Each structure stands twice: as structure tokens, then as C-alpha cells.
Amino acid sequence: MALSSEVYEALENIVGPDNITEEPATLDSYAYQWMAELVTNVTDGGKFFDRAEAVLMPGSAEDVQAIVKACNQHKLRFHVFSTGWGPWAASPAEGQILLDLRRMDKIIEIDEQNMFAVVEPYVVAAQLQAEAMKVGLNNHISGAGAGTSVLANACCFQGGGPDVIYFASPQDSILSIEWVTPEGDILQTGSLGSGLGWFCAEGPGPSTQGIIRGSLGGAGGWGVVTKIAIRLVHWPGPATLPIEGTVPSYQAALPEDQFKAAFPAFSDWQDFSDAIYRIYDSEIGYIAHRQFVMWGDELQAAFLNIVTDPTRQLCDLEELLEKPEIQKLTEEMQRNFQLIMVGMTPRDLEYQKKVLDQILKETGGWNISFVEKPDVQRYVLLFMLRLCFKNLNFTATGGFIDTYNSVATPDVWASGEIQAGKKLLKKYAGRIADAGDQAMGPIGGQGGGGVTGWEDFVFYDPFDPDSSKAAAEVSDEGDKLKAVQGRPPGGMLLGLARATHADQEARAQKLSKSPEYNWQRKIKETLDPNGVGSGNYFWGADTSKK
């Protein structure tokens, strides 16, 4: 179904002829998405989701407003994205248009004194961080990495990450918002709504933060957030990251008296859990994450050796795994996480290091000495502070998903769920990468700690139909395990996306465990009476036409 000439012309008049296209290969470049082969294998869609009818690139909130009004007038559904990484960025069904927000890419303001920034949708975390650091500030970076939208991570989707323990969750850091509602009104929330500037989410002025953000955000189907103010935190380091090293093993040579990467490790999960509680209580740490286990507890030591040495390649993996020192390191790292300590002063860092030593003493833990090697120390600091290597998730096989995941208090690490996840992955070993425990996630999942969690990574080969099928099966089986525990489907909504493409009944069954998604859907139905905001996996009613 192509757009009628009347509708096309109306849209073209808004954005101009250079900012709208129906060119087939271009539309396919938007339909192609990571994970598509898992979601659409129920419809044989391969790497491509449904092709949008057109892609538009608005340049301003006024453009967006005009497009949304035109969509309401013509009963045309739209789906919107910023940096566009993931299945939630593709058109979820036929007959829709896509809004690509990459022209809206400005940092409007960095308020140094009041510690916030105002950004448009296509500002990525690395850009904001680079500018914020110049004035002694820093911003949260989503676990998806430095190349993802600051605005989208805060307002429109999940967006937690390794630094949340110090920086707070992005949804808790949103200040005022400029939002084009599904009916085409421009709503300014919080203090902005009263003309008082961007500084406060809760007024004076309307506070619609819960509606706009909700549990997961609108994921492209819920009006269009065109600007946000986001809270920043202190950065005591240099104005520019001092990068050294040979591509791809870049490093940050930060002052040793203010920056320290540690790998606390433990001999059992109870000690691991206890240490996390103590970290919360003592309020140390700038970033706390179980990061490198993403490669699997059996491969992480070897992979770390590869990525920190620019002369190494993946073909060194098997040789490394045979080395006694790597085997020893693998054993040592089995239950470890990464803790980045940043001292506002050298004395502050000294204090944090002493506290960590005490915690390790009390819990029988140790700091893995491998991270003390200067090259590794500098690599890990860069990795965690900028999250510039996050696409290493794809290095091993070309594809990854998360599946059986958990968000809970630190006791969860000692609850047996890690072993359940590992067992699930081992069952499929050979069809997916055989790497062991891949439970990667935040040690502090909210500001100040209190919540932790993980995503069980699955590495699969998107080019291998059986491997892709296995990944989908792991996802489904992970959701079933979670359903038994009364928990909603997670895993980047993959299970829901798969169910949506399978049939409505399967989707409804998945959603029956998800009151928050159902509640968001009700709000959406109220505020989007014409249903022009695209259907989405957790609230939409669209099923692929295929």
C-alpha cells in the first residue's frame, strides 16, 4: 500500500522534498533490524521487518506537530525513532510511516550551575558527555552505549546502565519535556510548562512524566518527545578524555589518584550478594556493573585478553583458553563485577579504595589482579566511563539477545537464578555460543543502589537459521521460566515481539503477566483516540500482515 499522492504531497509540504522518501532500498535500510530474524521467523521475514510506506525527517517540533496532525487527519499511523537501533525502531506493521529524527540533533543548552542539559532526540550520549566534561559534568549513558540517544533512553524506552548506582536511572533524571502528543498538541511539562525554564519535572506546571515515560516509555508509538532536560552529575576528570593506544584497543589515561577500576570477585554467590549490600551502604562507586561476563564466564578472561591487545584476533581464542594463566583467570573471574571508583578528590578515592578493601575482607572477596595491569586498567576505565565498546556484544557471533533476566534486591544473586540461566544456555550450547554464565547487568539498578539485576546474554549467528531459531527458543523458554515466577516477559521485549508476529492470543497470554504494559496501553488508548501512534509490542494491536 503506497501513500496516496494527496497524503504524500501533504507530508512533503511539511518537511520538503529532500526529507521524505519512498525509495525501496532506502525503506529496506530502515526495515532491516537487529533481531528481525528472531521476531519474524514466525512469518519468514528474515532480516527485514515490514517496510514503511515512507520515511520522513522532520527538522523541528513544529514539523513533527504538523506531521502528527496530518496523520490524524488522514488516519495514517506513524512510528518514530532517534538513533534507531533495535526492532522497536522498525515499522511494526505495514501501512505506516516512519519518522527519523536525525535532523533534530542539537544540544540546546548545558546549564553548568544547575547541572542539567537540554537536548534534541538525535544527540547521542558520547556527544553530550564530551560537552559536559568540558564544564566538569557528566551524563548517564545507557547500557546500549555511547551511540544511543540521550532523549530516547530517558523518555522512550529502557535506558538503565552501568552508572545508574551513582547517576540514578534516566527516568529519574528527566526534568522538563517538550512532547508532541498523539493528537498533535505540543505539551511542555514541569517548570517549562509555566515558562520558568527547564529545571524541574514536577512543576510548577503539568507533571506528565509518568504518562510519557511509564514503565518502558512509548518505544516509538507514543507521541514524539522533541526535547528534554536531563540531569547531569559531577565529573572531576579532565575536560577531554585522554585517549591513547592503538585501534581497537583504545585506553583512557586518567589520573591514577582519582580513577580506579576494580574487579571484585568472590568464591560464592552469597558473598557476592553481601558485598553488593555493603557497597550500597557505604556509597562508594561511580559505576558498578557485571560487564565482561557478557562473553560468558568461561570466555571472559580470554576475550579480555583479546580486546585489550590490538594485535590479537578471535582466532586466538582457543589458544588462549588452553593457557594455564587464562584458565586460572577464568576461574578467578567466575563471580566478579566491575567497580569504577572516581574520587572527587584524591583523598576521596583513597577512602573508596579503603572501603572496598574492607568490604572484600569482610566478604572473603578479592580484587582480580589482572585489572591492575596498566593497559587493562586504562582500557576498562574507558570502556566503562564512555561505554564506547558496547557493540562488542556482537563480536563473537554477529548476533546477541538477552533473555532470562532479573531485577531484584541483591539476594537474587544467591537465589539460584544465575545457575538456572546458565543451565538454560547450556541446553542450547552448540546451536548458540557455548560460553557459560552470561548474566550481565547492573550492580546498582537505581540511584544509590537497592536494586540489581542482569540480562542473560545469548550469542547466536543471524546468518545461521538454526542458530537464530535456537536463540528464539531460548528466549521463549526464558519467558516461560519467568512466567512461572510471576514475572513479565523481558529480554528487550523480544518475546512479546515474537508473540505479536505469531498471533494475538499468544501476545495476550504474554501480556497477562504484565499489568504495567496493560496500563500503558489504556493510557495510550485514551490519549490517542485515532490510534495514529504506531502499535507496539506491549500495547499495540498490530499484527504483521504477512
- To another protein, the closest distance from the beta carbon of 383 in angstroms equals 9
Least spacing, CB of residue 457 vs another protein, in Å: 13
Grid cell in block for residue 59: 527538522
Interface with another protein, residue 111, by CB under 8 A: no
Stretch of 122-130, 172-180, 368-376, 445-453 contacting another protein, by CB under 8 A? 122-130
Nearer to another protein, 227 or 386 (CB): 386
Q: Where are the beta strands (DSSP E) in 224-337?
A: 224-231, 233-234, 243-244, 251-252, 259-262, 264-265, 287-290
Size of the site for another protein (CB under 8 A): 83
Q: How far is the CB of 32 from another protein (least distance, A)?
A: 4
Among 97, 241, 287, 492, binds another protein (CB under 8 A): 241
147 sits near another protein (criterion: CB under 8 A): yes
Backbone angles phi, psi at 365, to 5 degrees: -90, 180
Residue ranges of E strands in 181-217: 186-188
CB of 442 to another protein, least distance (A): 20
Min dist CB 537 to another protein, Å, is: 18
Task: Write the binding mask 451 to 470 for another protein: x where contact by CB under 8 A, - elsewhere.
Answer: --------xxxxxx--x---
Q: State the nearest-atom distance from the C-beta of 56 to another protein, in Å.
A: 10
d(CA 186, CA 199): 19
Binding mask 188-227 for another protein (x = CB under 8 A): ----------------------------------------
Span interacting with another protein, options 79-87, 267-275, 361-369, 538-546, rule CB under 8 A: 79-87
- Minimum CB–partner distance for residue 389 and another protein (Å): 6
Triad 451, 340, 400: Cα angle to 5° = 65
| Residue 48 binds another protein (CB under 8 A) | yes
When asked if residue 348 is in the footprint of another protein (CB under 8 A), the reply is no
Q: Which residues pair with 48 in a beta bridge?
A: 32
**DSSP H or E stretch at residue 375:** helix 374-386
Q: Candidates 315-323, 345-353, 402-410, 522-530 — which segment interacts with another protein by CB under 8 A?
A: 315-323
For residue 82 the three cell numbers come to 532517534
- Rounded distance between C-alpha atoms, residue 240 and residue 245, angstroms: 16
For residue 223 the three cell numbers come to 507521541
- Residue 1 as a binder of another protein (CB under 8 A): the answer is no
Residue 57 touching another protein (CB under 8 A): yes
26 part of the interface to another protein, by CB under 8 A: yes
Question: H-helix or E-strand containing 440?
Answer: strand 439-442
Report the residue number, 31 or 68, with the smaller CB distance to another protein. 31
Please give the torsion angle defined by the CA atoms of residues 545, 540, 508 and 501, in that order, rounded to the nearest 10 degrees: 30
Question: Closest Cα to residue 219, out of 492, 450, 439?
Answer: 492
Is there binding between residue 128 and another protein (CB under 8 A)? yes
**How many angstroms separate the CA atoms of 461 and 300, rounded?**
19
Specify the DSSP element, H or E, that contains 341.
Answer: strand 338-342
Cell of 517: 504494559
**Residue 119 and residue 125: Cα distance in Å, rounded?**
10
Determine if 84 is a binding residue for another protein (CB under 8 A): yes
Contact region with another protein (CB under 8 A), list: 27-35, 214-222, 228-236, 353-361: 27-35
Q: Compute the C-alpha angle 509/510/516, nearest 5°.
A: 115
Q: Which of these segments, 2-10, 397-405, 445-453, 479-487, binds another protein (CB under 8 A)?
A: 397-405
Separation of alpha carbons 281 and 365, rounded Å: 17
**Beta strand residue intervals within 70-217, DSSP E:** 77-81, 96-100, 107-111, 116-119, 137-138, 174-180, 186-188
User: CB 1 → another protein: shortest distance, Å?
Assistant: 16
Q: Which helix (H) or strand (E) holds 48?
A: none
Residue 248 sits in the site that holds another protein (CB under 8 A): yes
User: What is the distance between the alpha carbons of residues 363 and 331, in angstroms, rounded to a whole number?
Assistant: 18
CB of 28 to another protein, least distance (A): 4
Location of C-alpha cell 586460572: 328
Residue of 164, 355, 435, 472 that binds another protein (CB under 8 A): 435
Residue in 382, 401, 412, 443 binding another protein, rule: CB under 8 A = 382
Q: Contacting another protein (CB under 8 A), which of 55, 200, 329, 499? A: 55
Q: Binding of another protein at residue 320 (CB under 8 A)?
A: no
Q: Which three cell numbers stand for residue 63?
A: 514539523
Nearer residue to another protein within complex by CB, 32 or 366: 32
Angle between helical axes of 465-484 and 494-502 (0-180°, round to 10) = 100
49 contacts another protein (rule: CB under 8 A): no
